[in-house]
């Protein structure tokens, strides 16, 4: 019996010796890598914290606070293409003798520039001087009481969700192949909106401007579904040989609601004050 037990113990010890468990590498791991992001990764845009300021490289820029201009200068001058300028909810405020709040340099044509999200007021010339640039997107800007035009945009631009008020010339000025929509022009000394060639003005509100609510200076424009009230003239076309499309607008309380040349394509003007509207033409303009 003793010999049998000894054999069993030896066999058990041999079996135990053959059983091993997997072991990980005994080489220590390398040092941990930094997990924090750099400032450039957190905010890749360039800050603007004082005026005057020149943007001369493509990229994204933003205001860090409300800024005040200086006499004899523009606030921000853009001399590059492919720029995004975020006012970041802040205001650019001009002083006596200042020029434009934002000027896109006209020495050569600059393109692909976005300006948005802030207030521009009190500058001696234009609020945004972009009439010689191309492919602008200007949105969510409040421009008021600047010296000449509130917002001027060049060829192929979009202006939307902006308000322009109290300027000595037009509230908005569009040159060619551009669109203005969902904007408000009020109490400007010139026209609320001034269109040059081949633009679209759609679903805007123009009130209390000393001249026209919408002035169509040349041809090829579409004026569609706007509300014009309490201006000297609601909608006026200036260029006898140009053909413009004037449809679905509503004019009320102007000294003259519509002043349109016969060369234009115009939806019927329906006088509807104090009456039930029965006209079913989908392109009708209304006067009341």
Q: What is the pLDDT of residue 15?
A: 43
28 assigned to some structural domain: no
Q: CA nearest 237: which of 266, 267, 269?
A: 266
CB 253 within 8 A of CB 273: no
Alpha-carbon gap, residue 147 to 31, rounded angstroms? 62
104 assigned to some structural domain: yes
Model pLDDT for residues 110-150, shown as the tens digit of each residue: 999 999 999 999 999 999 999 999 999 999 999 999 999 99
2 assigned to some structural domain: no
Phi then psi dihedrals of residue 5, to 5 deg: -65, -40
1 assigned to some structural domain: no
Model pLDDT for residues 222-231, shown as the tens digit of each residue: 999 999 999 9
17 assigned to some structural domain: no
128 assigned to some structural domain: yes
16 assigned to some structural domain: no
CATH number at residue 134: 2.160.20.10
Q: What is the mean pLDDT of residues 247-267?
A: 96
Alpha-carbon gap, residue 188 to 112, rounded angstroms? 28
Provide the domain limits for residue 184: 47-287
Number of domains in the chain: 1
CB 133 within 8 A of CB 113: yes
CB 241 within 8 A of CB 219: yes
């Amino acid at each position: 019996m003793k010999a049998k037990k000894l054999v069993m113990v030896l066999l058990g010890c041999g079996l135990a010796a053959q059983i091993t468990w997997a072991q990980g590498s005994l080489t220590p791991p390398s040092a941990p890598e930094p997990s924090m992001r750099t400032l450039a990764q957190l905010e890749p845009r360039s800050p603007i914290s004082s005026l005057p300021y020149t943007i001369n490289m493509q990229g994204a820029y933003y205001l860090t606070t409300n800024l005040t201009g200086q006499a004899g200068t523009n606030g921000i001058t853009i001399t590059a293409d492919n720029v995004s300028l975020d006012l970041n909810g802040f205001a650019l405020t001009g002083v006596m003798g200042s020029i434009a709040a934002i000027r896109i340099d006209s020495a050569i044509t600059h393109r692909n520039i976005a300006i948005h999200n802030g207030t521009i007021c009190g500058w001696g010339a234009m609020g945004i001087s972009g009439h010689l640039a191309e492919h602008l997107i200007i949105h969510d800007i409040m421009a008021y009481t600047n010296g000449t035009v509130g917002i001027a945009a060049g060829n192929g631009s979009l202006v939307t969700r902006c308000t322009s008020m109290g300027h000595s010339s037009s509230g908005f000025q569009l040159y060619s192949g551009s669109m203005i929509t969902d904007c408000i022009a009020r109490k400007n000394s010139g026209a609320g909106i001034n269109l040059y060639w081949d633009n679209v003005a759609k679903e805007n509100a123009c009130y209390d401007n000393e001249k026209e609510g919408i002035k169509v200076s040349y041809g090829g424009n579409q004026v569609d579904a706007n509300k014009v009230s309490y201006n000297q003239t609601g909608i006026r076309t200036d260029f006898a040989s140009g053909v413009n499309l004037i449809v679905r607008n509503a004019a009320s309380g102007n000294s003259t609601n519509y002043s349109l040349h016969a060369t234009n394509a115009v939806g019927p003007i329906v006088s509807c004050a104090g009456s039930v509207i029965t006209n079913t033409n989908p392109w009708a303009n209304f006067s009341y």
